[in-house]
Amino acid sequence: MRFAIYGAGAIGAYLGAKLSVAGDDVALIARGPHLKAMRENGVRIKSAEGDFDAKLLATDDPAEVGEVDVVVLAVKAHGLTAIAPLLEPMLGPDTIVLPAQNGIPWWYFQGHGGTWEGTQLESVDPGGVITKHIATERIVGCVVYPAATIVEPGVIQHEEGNRFSIGELDGSSSDRVKALSAAIGNAGLRAPVRSNIRQEIWVKLLGNLAFNPVSALTKASMEEIARDPNARAVAQSMMEEAYAVAAALGVEIPISVEQRLAGAEKVGDHKTSMLQDVEAAKPIEIDGLVGSVLELGSMLDIPMPYTTTVYACTKLLAQKSS
């Protein structure tokens, strides 16, 4: 298959390199020193599973890439509004768009059915720009689990994980989603096809919603938050509020708050992505991870006092850091 990875940072470059060495035609779209290094030397992956190099097209111009089978959107959620209008040169009649963001995605109520079908979330798609430029029928949902960092331009440290869960928005097991799963699997990764991709989004979101902003405010690791009685209580309350929202939407989360907290504690001395972005003075995913759930809570008339408070503080932190 022919892939374009738009936003070839740590996760995007890792996925692209794995696909490339497996024989797929892959183009990476990036910018800055990272792009320059990948153009000159390719991508270097460092991993406990084995180090390797991949030489592939790296560019900042979608027109140079042309039409592909799959466009992977690997930018942070707040970067989608800017890139959505730029995708057209890569979109053929049957091109799949695979969004690889954390949090509630802009497409959540597309192909959803029921009362909220087609509802646009302003927190993740301001003005409907993304919806306007990416047709619903192109989208295959995705939940990303690998952890990776850029240790220097063009060099990626893969820390753990190899799963990219995918699923059609209507839950069907289509030929295209099976083919995509097979291609990612052929690259030595896992891409299980889920009949309810939204449920898996909520499972991952539980931790991100609570631990990311609390860590950004406290500069504490996940383990430190989970072991501190006061911080743990805040994280627990935020998760319970998110559970209430999910339940109101008809989503049954197959893991308890206590299990999610215990899992976070086992991760150990790990900095969340939001804390890393704060320390690097980069924009943070506060609206994708937290603002979107608050918007859902407001739609459903569900009070979320803990989440609202932490969101307000983190939002101010982001404004002062920018």
Taking Cα atoms as reference points, which of 48, 49, 42, 44 lies closest to residue 26? Answer: 42
Cβ(276)–Cβ(248) below 8 Å: no
Side-chain-facing half-sphere of 270: CA atoms under 13 Å: 18
State how far the Cα of 273 lies from the Cα of 291, in Å rounded to an integer.
17
Which residue out of 36, 204, 282, 315 is catalytically annotated?
A: 204
* Residues 6+ away with beta carbon under 8 Å from 207: 260, 263, 264
User: Is 76 in the active site?
Assistant: no
- Helix, strand or coil, per DSSP, at residue 5: strand
Look-up of token digits 């996760």: 11
State how far the Cα of 322 lies from the Cα of 317, in Å rounded to an integer.
9
Kindly report the length of the chain: 322
**Active site positions, annotated:** 204
